[in-house]
Amino acid sequence: MNEPRRVLVLNGPNLGRLGSREPDIYGATSYKGLVESCRALGEELGFDVEVRETNDEGEMIRWLHEAADGSLPVVLNPGAFTHYSYGMRDAAAQRTAPLIEVHISNPYAREEFRHTSVVAAVATGTVAGFGIGSYRLALRALAEELGS
């Protein structure tokens, strides 16, 4: 039996506040619920999913470097970093495995400043607008990309 493939699910600013942060936009699922959902589906797909969250841009960049150095697939919800963090974008561009950008809401249905993603051009693909289901769709896309 094959050992599960390690996958990082990386979350940017304010995502640790899921469930209490603007539930009309981000839903009622807590961050803990997100973690559990990602790990459970990951197990079904043959992944060892590690979910992380940070409000620190430098930490996110270090995690992306770790993923590149280890050829680790990534599901990335950059949060607000999406729209302006060129450092994070440059770290994501160094990827050595698929990287799927994820958003809980549909950025194009929101404020104009949210319509630009500096990450999209260096990501394998983007999933947005399906609530917490965006993470499930991204994990399934990773499984297809990796031939799992």
Q: What is the pLDDT of residue 48?
A: 97
Domains of the chain (ranges, CATH numbers) = 5-146 (3.40.50.9100)
Contact 135, 15 (CB under 8 A): no
Residue 83 annotated as part of some ligand binding site? yes
Length in residues, the chain: 148
**Strand partners for 8:** 50, 74
Residue 90 annotated as part of some ligand binding site? yes
User: Is 26 part of the annotated catalytic residue set?
Assistant: yes
Residue 25 annotated as part of some ligand binding site? no
What is the average pLDDT across 42-64? 97
User: Is 31 part of the annotated catalytic residue set?
Assistant: no
Tokens (6 digits) for 104: 């809980």
Share of the chain above pLDDT 90, in %: 71
Residue 97 has pLDDT above 80, yes or no: yes
Average pLDDT score over the chain:
90
Please identify which of the residues 84, 103, 108, 115 carries the catalytic annotation: 103
Residue 77 annotated as part of some ligand binding site? yes
Tokens (6 digits) for 127: 């999933």
Residue 148 has pLDDT above 90, yes or no: no
For residue 98, name the pLDDT band (cuts at 50, 70, 90). Answer: very high
Please identify which of the residues 26, 108, 115, 135 carries the catalytic annotation: 26
Over residues 2-15, the pLDDT tens digits come to 788 999 999 998 78
Over residues 66-80, the pLDDT tens digits come to 999 999 999 999 998
Instruction: Give dist(CA 67, CA 87) in Å, integer.
Output: 15
Residue 48 annotated as part of some ligand binding site? no
Over residues 8-51, the pLDDT tens digits come to 999 998 787 766 666 566 666 778 999 999 999 999 999 999 99
